[in-house]
Structure 1
Amino acid sequence: MIYSSLFMKNYIGFFTICKKSSVRNVSSFIFNVLFIVISLIFTSCMKMRTSETKILKDFKGQLAQPVFGISSNREHPLHYMKIGNSPQNLLVFIHGAPGSLDAFLSYMKEEALSNRATLITLDREGYGFSGYGKAEPSIGKQAKGVKELIMDHGNYDRIFLVGHSYGGPIACKLAMDFPDLPIERLILLAPALDPAHEKVFWFNKPMDWTPFKWMLPGSFKVANLEKIHHRSELELMTNQWGSLRVPITVIHGKKDSLVPFENVAFLEEVYQGDWLEVISLENENHFIPWTQYDLVKEILMKYLPNP
């Protein structure tokens, strides 16, 4: 993200320099162009994913060991990591954009959680090792893919879904579209739900143009395309909110500059169920899964039944 910001600064500087013709500005222009090229080449190496081998090394010495696999959906196969063997409770983590299954490794290593539930974290379509670089902007299709992954692992008495950022609406859509699933609760971390507060930045559409796309790493291409379509995808969910009855816990920071806190007010307005728990964090930003690990773990332990 630092390199993306530097790129934008120099991109703006390009147009400023074009209005001037001094030798000094030409030299500055050449420097800026070289900086952009070097930055983008460096950024293109950022795949934002961790190999299974490296993850297994990270779990060395732990009693519970992860298992990796690919969902049975041939059209949209999802790479996942699973740990724990509870036949009753399933806890599924859905990451944001960009990201991969390693966003929730700390939770997967938490034996207090794996003693109470089978844990699954997955690479969403286009990320990690799930068709890396090939975007699926449809929230509905992504939700269906996660549902099929869940069904691959048998029947559970209770399913808990954790969704961060873009993963939040996927968790909600899953509960909306498949009401027969025994979803016990949604735990939404800074979820991007409100189409009216969905920001599309000026550089999102240019970044989808061919001259720029080849320079972006696959994960950023996917995130950018999801961003462009996110508002319209959320609007498609508008008429479904009334059908959502699953209990929800939402945790959101009031200083979130990426997904505004106003998303909480939107959820409070459209949710028609009987149980909405809102945890507002006065000085928190968007990165709740990592900055508020203890709080999130506490919430999960609160609702996961004892074995």
Structure 2
Amino acid sequence: MTLEQRYPSATGHRAAHRSTASRVGLALGVTAAALAGLAAANALAAREAERRNPPKGRFITVDGVRLHYLEDGEGPPVVLIHGNVSTSDDFLISGVFERLSHNHRVIAIDRPGFGHSERPRGPSWTPGEQAALLRRAIDRLGLDRPVVVGHSYGATVAMAMGLDHPDAVGGVVLLAGYYFPTKRIDVVLAAPPAIPVLGDLLRYTVSPPFGAASMPLLVKTMFAPMEVPDDFMERFPTALTVRPGQLLASSQDGVTMVPGADAMQHRYGELTMPVAIFTGTEDRVVGAEGQSGRLHEVVRQSTLHRLPDVGHMVHHADPDLVVEEIDRVSAAAKARV
């Protein structure tokens, strides 16, 4: 009598186990192959995005970090710092950059990891760390106490520059910024791509197509209740924002936003330089009164502009007013010297 004849049940279980293991192995192999294919496709898409959206400006290397920046005009210097999930192109599209160039030497910098700027691994790239790097970039570019203008997360970086490097900043203009810590579900959603190993897997596989698919809704939310300008999606380099490297930068910024604001919130009263604050009364991204309104109460020399029926993209809603206020802050900063 054979073994199979004496123990038919045990033999059947072993066969079933081998069959299950074979199916699991096949499924894992197919999944791995699919992810590898997706990663390769995303790498090609990233290179194509950079080919179709080449740098418009110049490069400067600061502390080993290669930064891309736009520059135009002559006169009192102004530095523009974009928000998260964005690039310096945003200031071109809004018209703020071009208007400022009539009377100012204006610089718009791609923050580390965004647009065509690098973000090396190692630093946590908090608002304070980004501010320190940009301050050294300002020194390298020979800018004498510029007015620093920040939008959204860029406003948090601008505040860090004003607090940590007051000798290098003439004044600060803040556009729809985030200054006080709050509970935010978007931070939780943004965190996975920043997680080691898991984040790398996501960023090189499923995150780029998901990000591209969700971008129109994200842009609509940022502009709401305004309509998205007709040419915004055509002119904005969406393909650059969903590359694996920029997805990491966006995720890290999302993670550091709340603790970054928490680390600074008790110091805002230290600011003595001219400060202008803009907020849209219908801002669905950071809120209006709980952020900009509250900051205005703390920074006594600040001016506050509440734009009615405007959301997060205040510089698109009224670029002329933004430029007028930058001019006023620049003049006030010059008078203080």
**Shorter-chain TM-score above 0.5:** yes
Rounded Cα–Cα distance in structure 1 between residues aligned with 2:120 and 2:248: 7
Whole-angstrom CA distance in 1 between matches of 2:87 and 2:120: 12
- 1:1-307 correspondence to structure 2 within 5 Å: 45=46, 50-52=53-55, 55=56, 68-71=58-61, 73-86=62-75, 89-105=76-92, 106-110=95-99, 113-131=100-118, 136-154=124-142, 156=144, 158-181=145-168, 183-196=169-182, 198-208=184-194, 209-210=198-199, 211-215=201-205, 216=207, 217=243, 218-261=245-288, 262-271=290-299, 274-305=300-331
Larger C-alpha radius of gyration, 1 or 2? 2
Q: How many residues matched?
A: 250
CA distance in 2, matches of 1:241, 1:41: 42
Instruction: After TM superposition, give the deviation of residue 82 of structure 1 in Å.
Output: 1.4
Asked whether the equivalents of residues 136 and 226 of structure 1 are also in contact (C-alpha less than 8 Å), the reply is no
C-alpha distance after superposition, 1:171-195 (max 9, x if no partner) = 11111111222x3321111001111
Q: SS of 1:203's equivalent?
A: helix
**What per-residue deviation string (whole Å, max 9, x for no partner) do you get for residues 227-284 of structure 1?**
122111222223422322222111111211111111023313432xx41111112211
Q: Distance in 2 between matches of 1:279 and 1:230?
A: 23
Render the CA deviation track for 1:103-150: whole Å, top value 9, x for unaligned: 21233323xx32422110001011111116868531111001111111
CA–CA distance in 2 between the matches of 1:166 and 1:222?
Answer: 12
RMSD (CA atoms) = 3.2
1:226, CA displacement in angstroms?
Answer: 1.1
Contact 1:194–1:263 (Cα < 8 Å) also in 2: yes
Q: Which letter maps to 1:78?
A: L
Q: Which residue of 2 aligns with 1:27?
A: none
Looking at structure 2, the residues matched to 169 and 259 of structure 1 have their Cα atoms a distance apart, in angstroms, of: 12
What is the Cα deviation at residue 69 of structure 1? 2.6
- Percent identity of equivalent pairs: 24
Q: For 2:134 and 2:317, locate their aligned partners in 1 and report how far apart those are by CA, in whole Å.
A: 26
Contact 2:191 2:254 in 1 (8 A): no
**SS in structure 1 opposite 2:66?**
coil
Single out whichever of 205-214 and 187-196 deviates more from structure 2: 205-214
1:184/1:199 Cα in 2 relative to 1: closer, same or farther (>3 Å)?
Answer: farther
More helix per residue? 2
Which residues of structure 1 form unaligned runs of 5+?
Answer: 1-36, 56-66
**Equivalent pair of 1:79/1:123 in contact (CA under 8 Å):** yes
Query: Helix, strand or coil for the counterpart of 1:180?
Result: helix
- If asked which structure has higher relative contact order (CA below 8 Å, sep 6+), I would say 2
**Could you tell me how far apart the structure 2 residues matched to 1:143 and 1:74 are?**
13
Is the contact between residue 95 and residue 167 of structure 1 (CA under 8 Å) also seen in structure 2? Answer: yes
Alpha-carbon distance, 1:198 to partner: 4.8
1:133–1:96 CA distance, 2 compared to 1 (3 A): farther
Q: Is the 8 A contact 1:95 1:103 kept in 2?
A: yes
Cα distance change, pair 201–226 in 1 and its aligned pair in 2 (3 A): closer
SS of the aligned residue for 2:147 comes to strand
| TM-score for both structures, normalised by structure 1 | 0.71
CA distance in 1, matches of 2:60, 2:124: 17
Kindly provide the amino acid, as one letter, of the partner of residue 108 in structure 1: F
Instruction: Give the distance between the partners of 1:122 and 1:169, measured in 2 at CA.
Output: 15
CA deviation string 1:66-86 (max 9, x = no partner): x62314x23333221211233
SS of match in other structure, 1:225: helix
Report deviation, 1:196. 2.4
8 Å CA contact 2:174–2:278 kept in 1: the answer is: yes
Q: CA deviation at 1:197?
A: 5.4
What is the identity, as a one-letter code, of the residue corresponding to 2:129? K
Q: Is the 8 A contact 1:47 1:128 kept in 2?
A: no
CA contact (8 A) 1:133 1:222 kept: no
Instruction: Provide the C-alpha distance between the structure 1 equivalents of 2:275 and 2:53, rounded to a whole number of angstroms.
Output: 30
